[in-house]
Amino acid sequence: MIGVYIKLSYVDLMLASVLLVLAGGLSIALKLGMEKPLGVAALRTVVQLTLIGMVLKLLFQMVSPWWTGLAALIMIVLAGREVMARQTLRLKGWWSYGIGTSAMLTAGSVVTVLALTTAVRPEPWYDPRFALPLLGMVLGNTMNGVSVGMERLSNTLKREKDAIEGQLALGFDRRDAFRPYIRESMRAGLMHIVNAMSAAGLISLPGMMTGQILAGVDPTEAVKYQILIMFLIAGATSLGALIAVLAVAARLSDDRARLRLDRLRGVSR
Amino acid sequence: MLSVRALTRLGVGPVDLDVAGGEIVSLTGPSGAGKTLLLRAIADLDPNEGAVTLSGVSRESLDAPRWRARVMYVPANAGWWSDTVGPHFADMDAERVKTTLHQLNLETTALGWTVATLSTGERQRLALARAVVRGPDVLLLDEPTSGLDGENVRRAEALIAGFANDGGGVLFVTHDPVQAERLGTRGLTFAGGSVVEVSR
């Protein structure tokens, strides 16, 4: 059956939506109040995915570096916005957004371009059929590491204010005072991908691999792609979390080695 | 030794004050007047403006860690960054640590204690000790004996007096006018956002 791709019709999708109706019915019967959110979310899924399907089809036909670049940029900007939205303690001004987006831009583009030019090698290297899905998967997962790392550092520095200033007051360098919290935040940022890699194939069958298998690709080939993607995500998450955590640490201190929690929203001097 | 001119930070100052070597200067004033903020600003732990020098050397000419190693701030509730007391005295001269702890009615066994189980008084004495053994030029002490009983107040004051006798300068905040008179060789008090000399 390898190489066989079963095309889905709209009727097939309608059949699957029966399950959604069932979920809505359960919500009404059990008074969960989730029928409306379920309906809205399902509608969003259909509209958003249909639109992106049309956009991707158009981009794949054009194979233009400019349009591919623009699409990549939009994805990165949205990822930066998502990183910021996940922060319970945001930096004042545009800093949270700026740091999140810069980390995503650097990590996402470096790792994706590296994969396109060395491992995958499509012709041309920016072929959107390869570049955009790769970037999407890298960004989607790196976003977790970046946002968790930033969130953990801001919260820990606030919680451990006395311990940090205790060291600074005694003449410790800020790098020494911040180091354990930077390490902790980096570890937290990397935990997701470490868990994902550990569970891959045993507890979970990753979505991309499953998708390829359903599309008729030989499972051993799909596995190779999945391993590549996991390694890309691990590299991008490490790089992105490192950039973001160090940038937040730099922003929450200054050239006189002070702890600057007043640069967080809702925290005064 | 320590000279502060036109020091301002949010809600405090401008403040002018001097602390000479061997001097113990008390700083009193109502709660919320800015005593703690002033000590923190001198230690450069918060953004502030003004001319602060130590023996003629301006604060800005030293990097911040070096400044704070010489002009050392000890908060009323000091922070701890390890689970046990020992690491807070790492790389210190063992004999000096032993002597200082002994002066504060503590033994070196205290280095093995768990921070979470320390009483307020033990924390306060250990925080004072870990600052004194580092040998700063000036100590900025925020209510250094507020959690201590009578005997330990006497011992802490003796340690502070000994530090000044060795040539160190001390600026300490207290809510106790009797202690300000007893320990301080000179007194300052907050008035209208700035500090003025207390006549004795």
- The Cα–Cα gap between B143 and B78 comes to 11
- The Cα–Cα gap between B200 and A30 comes to 78
Q: Can you read off the two tokens belonging to residue A191?
A: 């935990």
* Smallest Cα distance from A101 to chain B, Å: 29
What percent of chain A stands above pLDDT 90?
80
Q: What is the pTM of this model?
A: 0.87
* pLDDT tens column, A108-167: 999 999 999 998 899 999 999 999 999 999 999 999 999 999 999 999 999 999 999 999
With a cut of 70, say whether residue B13 has pLDDT above it. yes
In the predicted model, what is the mean pLDDT of chain B? 93
Residue of B nearest to A262 (CA): B46
8 Å CB contact of B63 and A168: no
* B64: nearest CB among A163, A167, A257: A257
* pLDDT tens column, A196-217: 899 888 887 888 888 888 888 9
8 Å CB contact of A170 and B131: yes
8 Å CB contact of B46 and A173: no
Q: Going by C-beta distance under 8 Å and a sequence separation of 6 or more, which residues neighbour residue B20?
A: B1, B169
Q: Is B112 on the interface with A (CB under 8 A)?
A: no
Helix, strand, or coil (residue B186):
strand
What is the pLDDT at residue A269?
A: 56
Give the ipTM of the model, two decimals please: 0.94
Q: Going by C-beta distance under 8 Å and a sequence separation of 6 or more, which residues neighbour residue A62?
A: A128
Contacts of B74 in chain A (CB under 8 A): 169
Contacts of B65 in chain A (CB under 8 A): 168, 171-174, 257
* A/B interface, count of CB pairs below 8 Å: 73
With a cut of 80, say whether residue A268 has pLDDT above it. no
Torsion of CA B42, B8, A252, A82, to 10 degrees: 160
- The Cα–Cα gap between B187 and B170 comes to 11
Residue of B nearest to A261 (CA): B46
8 Å CB contact of A163 and B80: yes
**Three-point CA angle B68, B69, B73, nearest 5°:** 55
* pLDDT tens column, B120-174: 999 999 999 999 999 999 999 999 999 899 899 999 999 999 999 999 999 999 9
B141 touches B129 (CB < 8 A) = no
Q: Name which of B148, B194, B137 is nearest B171 in CA terms.
A: B137
